[in-house]
Structure 1
Amino acid sequence: MRLGALIAIAAVTMAGMTSSVVAAEGEAVTGRFDRPQQGFAPPGTTLRPATPEEAGLDPAPLLAAEQKIDAWTRPDSTGHPLFAGAVGMQVHDGMVVNTHTAGSALRYADGAGTELPPDQQVPMRMDTIFDLASISKLFTSLAVMQVVETGQVDIDEKVATYLPEFGVNGKECITVRQLLTHTSGLEPFLPLWRDWPDKAARIKAVMDVKPVYEPGSTYKYSDLNLITLGVLVERITGQPLDVRVREGITEPLGMVDTGYNPPAEKLDRIAATEFMTVPDRGMIRGQVHDENAWSLGGVAGHAGVFSTAADLSVLGQAVLNGGAYGGKRILRQDTVRQMLTDYNQDFPGNAHGLGFELDQLWYMGGLTSPGTAGHTGFTGTSLVIDPASRSIAILLTNRVHPTRTWGSINAAREAWATGLSRALAVPPKHGPDAWFSEIGNLSTATLTTKPLTVGDRPLRVTFDTFVDTESTDQLVLESSTDGTTWQPVSLRAAGPGAPGGEVSALSGTGHRSWWSVSAMVPPSENVALRWRYTTDKQYTARGVLLDGVQAVVSGNAVLDLEREPEAVTPQGWQLRSR
């Protein structure tokens, strides 16, 4: 299967389309959000620094995302910041277009949030090393797929074939694929560190556990899936997991700051995590934060990897390149395609490849599409890899420093990825500019005409729109005969990803195409039109564009916004040239 098919746009044709065409495999389309790429980047693509302008990007959205990250590292109404510090990196088409640091890698002395003296605090740097938490699951998954490539493991084979001790208590038929896609039915975690005395007993507890759901019947994210896969890799290769990951992934890719149990000489570059009292570990810095991984010696399939933004960007580019980077191949292209295929279509909202999460707006933001891959980590980390735009967004924070109770950082994750998406251009479909709205949560933007003289003839309205929104953030067209009471107008849209038949609203992410829309408004002496875009309380994607707006009565245009943009009153909309 081609990667273009995985991102659900391979069927887009060139006929009748202008800017919303699919880029052919290998074609360079720098800086465009509306030209989804097919296939992988050339395997020789390596990262290099570039300005946003050199990459064809608008620097303003990148700066706006930076400002949000900065604000979240300062105390708010709660008396503390959302997170102590962050390192961010944004990559497009092999170019590192933005790097950013904010706040502190070490800031607090205890779990109550007592700040260290300024001379004892450690600022974030671009080479700060972070505990990746569950992003570690990607390294385990890559290691699994490497042994799949050797023929030693079949992902559709029963796990018990390779780990006989796993095949008990209802787990006899669980497959390797089900572990990778979190459809095994295993519960999310067990308190291994607390309830079992040593590593051997803790691993045995995972092997002995009974599923809480019928395997294959539901999606349930579980650390136990990846702990099991880590054991499987060790059993098949005869190597400890950390050695296997180093020899098979990080060393070939040149990821010099990535691995388990970082050495003491790197401690001054490691971001602190939580001040932990249960278990009594004090301020954690340089040891894995996850209690179960810690109790397993710092090396486990679900957590334990430390890394930097620079190293993660190499991993992300290797995925975009189809499994190779810097002349070293860690996976075949067909294997990477498998890893980016959604196997959880029976569980809407939980799209998942082999190890990679897919299509998750809550942290992928405006880069979301059916083929966008990534993962997050409990310590405050996120990695987003978007094959459709060949972009990578990395945000690493120490949000559990000094405590895990200060709140979710999903808004920051989403903002960082969305900033990159909005920096990519969507040129107008007609003329020099188009109306654009990028309002935030719980907001409404309107574009309203004056009353149009229609009489006893129906009004035909046509426009083009580029919609990249959460399904509950909708664009509607409304009409009014009195300027006060507004009625929805039924719409028909055409284009890749457009809804079929008549609809009352337009929304959706990932198609990255202009839609041609038409509507008929019943006869009325005078009628005003209003385009209304409304968002709910959380998650916004790239936003909405309108262009080529016309209203015609019996062949005569009574509204043409290409000629008269002043014929509408915008609230929350602005004219943009890209």
Structure 2
Amino acid sequence: MARLAAAVMAVVLMAGGSEAMAESAAGRFDRPWQGFAPANTVLRAGSAASVGLDPAPVAEAERAIEAWTRPNPTRPLFAGAVTLSAHNGVIVSRSEAGQAVRYADAAGTELPAERQVPMRSDTIFDVASVSKLFTSLAVLCLVEDGSVDIHAPVAAYLPAFGSNGKKSITVKQLLTHASGLEPFIPLWRDWPDKPTRIAAVLDRAPKYPPGSRYVYSDLNLITLGVLVEARSGKSLDALVAERITEPLGLRDTGYNPPAAKLHRVATTEFQSSPPRGMVRGEVHDENAWSLGGVAGHAGVFSTADDLAVLAQAILNGGAYAGRRILRAETVRDMLANHTPQFPGNDHGLGFELNQRWYMGALAGPRTAGHTGFTGTSLVIDPASRSFTILLTNRVHPSRAWGSINVARERLASGLARSMAVRPRHGPDAWFTGWTDATTSTLTSARLPGTGRARVTFDTFVDTESSDTLQLEWSADGQTWHSLPMRAAGRGAPPGEVGVLAGAGHRSWWTINADVPATGPFTVRWRAITDGRYLGRGFYVDRILVTDGDRSLLNGEKEPHLIAPDGWRLQTC
């Protein structure tokens, strides 16, 4: 019987993507997956607890988003919202709040209650620039067909594009916003019809030398939409349907939603220039509207459930429910950073990467997504096999009502913080919590020193670069000196460093530092956070202070010799 059990265990351990490995990583933020989810992963409903998550952070994020749909103090942050969060193939949270139709005019006059339309889980949203992902996916479908080479000049496929200094611009530079083209031109206002508007885009001279800088530009994706049509012989909406939405079964995703679905469409902005009135069921973006509602940069309408299937297909390496839209190697390349020369503007082929301002604590080098001007965002995190979707009509009734980035970040961070960071040793570890704009200290008792003392500890750090962990020592408890630290572990900084910071590695580090004190001394850990974007925070575990072979402090056995101020022992 024992030999049989051992044989079964050996088979489990040798199998790719074994259940044992999946179980160990599920619900864990500190055990990132390296590859794609199994291609046969299909979304199912479940609870946060069923996949090892703490439901409290996700629920808190949902409550915050619901509160932002209420006047505070005079008007809400957005009229309404639909959210969806998933982990390891399970939809762990979804919510609807506020109204899909709420206002009568640009001033924010509320409609009578009987004429307002509440948000529903199947409300259809104009996803604005999230449309760029569909265009990018369509381009990559043609790349797989051999019809397009991303390294080729765009002018090889669209000769008209080669004018005015654009002969060298490649398909890849359009996908990664490295073309040098300016962000926007008012096609709807300055050109009379679709042919002249397309010609104006193709003829436009770059604002900057191609490849010299990152400039997010609608013109890049409008051009790619035209390229897709030229190379496929089909309209952009037809190709997106044939190669993406129909294979994935996305029933409510497409351009120019039919009149039969208008009752489910969220209203966007009241527009007076152009004089469109309250926009509902037509694309909000004026340029996309002037191009007939189908454009490379905007025009897609979708629901949370449809976008969830798309997100899971990407986590699965390009397949869902037995249908494949891209090969796994294409998806891997799509999610790689192709703009390392522009730090802070990490970009895959169409997808933005590692943008903490809306990806929150889910942000990391492989975290992919996009936002939409109408108030939408999609965040896909392969490292935790998770994603969040926030759909709002934040431009209803006016785009002047402000940014909703705080909500985008809150939802993504809520899902990240629901995942565990387990102590590396023993049942608990010191944790700072998630408080912005604060300083927290963890201070040892007074210890004897001979000049040979060494501090060793393990730490898990997931923050932006402006949030830091420092190790300090003091002879008198008043004047503190920084201790240079040496870190070891995946993603650890090389050499000696004075502070610890960073995100995306999702790994515990082992830290060593030497204390030069020749008499009694104290050591402390000081965590400093600024006003936003804390991430997953700071953890410290297995504190040891030694002097040669002599132990001065063992944090696992003597936690009473450590005084916390803003830290707490967290048990997992």
Question: By the TM > 0.5 criterion, same fold?
Answer: yes
Identify the match of residue 196 of structure 1 among 187, 191, 211: 191
Please report how far the alpha carbon of residue 524 of structure 1 lies from its aligned counterpart in structure 2 after TM superposition.
Answer: 4.9
Pairs within 5 Å for 1:304-383: 304-383=299-378
Pairs within 5 Å for 1:243-322: 243-322=238-317
Please report how far the alpha carbon of residue 206 of structure 1 lies from its aligned counterpart in structure 2 after TM superposition.
Answer: 0.2
Q: Which residue of 2 aligns with 1:60?
A: 56
SS of residue in 2 equivalent to 1:143: helix
Contact 1:25 1:40 (C-alpha < 8 Å) held by counterparts: no
Identify the match of residue 521 of structure 1 among 497, 515, 528: 515
User: Percentage identity across aligned positions?
Assistant: 63
SS of residue in 2 equivalent to 1:453: coil
Q: Residues 448 and 407 of structure 1: is their aligned pair in 2 closer, same or farther, counting only changes over 3 Å? A: farther
Q: Which residue of 2 aligns with 1:535?
A: 529
Q: Which residue of 2 aligns with 1:124?
A: 119
TM-score (norm 2): 0.94
Alpha-carbon deviations, 1:250-276, whole Å to 9, x = none? 011011011111111212211111111
Q: Quick one: distance in 1 between partners of 2:193 and 2:325? A: 34
Alpha-carbon deviations, 1:76-124, whole Å to 9, x = none? 24x2221121111111111111111222212222111222222222221
2:471 equivalent to 1:477: yes
Q: Which residue of 2 aligns with 1:134?
A: 129
> Quick check: 483-492 or 468-477, which moved more?
483-492
The amino acid that maps onto 1:346 is Q
Contact 2:434 2:536 (C-alpha < 8 Å) held by counterparts: no
Q: Which residue of 2 aligns with 1:45?
A: 41
Q: Quick one: distance in 1 between partners of 2:184 and 2:447? A: 65
Pairs within 5 Å for 1:57-456: 57-77=53-73, 79-450=74-445, 452-456=446-450
Identify the match of residue 458 of structure 2 among 446, 452, 464: 464
Q: Quick one: distance in 2 between partners of 1:396 and 1:285? A: 15
Q: Residues 455 and 386 of structure 1: is their aligned pair in 2 closer, same or farther, counting only changes over 3 Å? A: closer
The amino acid that maps onto 2:356 is L
Contact 1:24 1:38 (C-alpha < 8 Å) held by counterparts: no
The amino acid that maps onto 1:341 is A
Please report how far the alpha carbon of residue 25 of structure 1 lies from its aligned counterpart in structure 2 after TM superposition.
Answer: 4.7
Number of aligned residue pairs = 554
Q: Quick one: distance in 2 between partners of 1:168 and 1:118? A: 55
Q: Residues 117 and 568 of structure 1: is their aligned pair in 2 closer, same or farther, counting only changes over 3 Å? A: farther
2:563 equivalent to 1:569: yes
Q: Quick one: distance in 1 between partners of 2:449 and 2:180? A: 63
Please report how far the alpha carbon of residue 24 of structure 1 lies from its aligned counterpart in structure 2 after TM superposition.
Answer: 7.0
SS of residue in 2 equivalent to 1:385: strand
Q: Quick one: distance in 1 between partners of 2:149 and 2:419? A: 40
Contact 1:439 1:445 (C-alpha < 8 Å) held by counterparts: no
SS of residue in 1 equivalent to 2:50: coil
SS of residue in 2 equivalent to 1:54: helix
TM-score (norm 1): 0.93
Contact 1:62 1:423 (C-alpha < 8 Å) held by counterparts: yes
- Aligned-residue RMSD, C-alpha: 1.5
Pairs within 5 Å for 1:478-493: 478-493=472-487
Q: Residues 438 and 406 of structure 1: is their aligned pair in 2 closer, same or farther, counting only changes over 3 Å? A: farther
Please report how far the alpha carbon of residue 47 of structure 1 lies from its aligned counterpart in structure 2 after TM superposition.
Answer: 0.2
The amino acid that maps onto 1:317 is Q
Q: Which residue of 2 aligns with 1:13?
A: none
Please report how far the alpha carbon of residue 371 of structure 1 lies from its aligned counterpart in structure 2 after TM superposition.
Answer: 1.0
Q: Quick one: distance in 1 between partners of 2:110 and 2:192? A: 35
Q: Quick one: distance in 1 between partners of 2:289 and 2:529? A: 42
SS of residue in 1 equivalent to 2:512: strand
Contact 1:457 1:554 (C-alpha < 8 Å) held by counterparts: no
Q: Quick one: distance in 2 between partners of 1:386 and 1:24? A: 21
Kindly report structure 1 stretches of 4+ aligned residues shifted beyond 3 Å: 23-27, 455-458
SS of residue in 2 equivalent to 1:349: coil
Please report how far the alpha carbon of residue 51 of structure 1 lies from its aligned counterpart in structure 2 after TM superposition.
Answer: 0.8
Contact 2:450 2:547 (C-alpha < 8 Å) held by counterparts: no
Q: Quick one: distance in 2 between partners of 1:455 and 1:329? A: 64
The amino acid that maps onto 1:283 is M
Q: Quick one: distance in 1 between partners of 2:542 and 2:175? A: 46
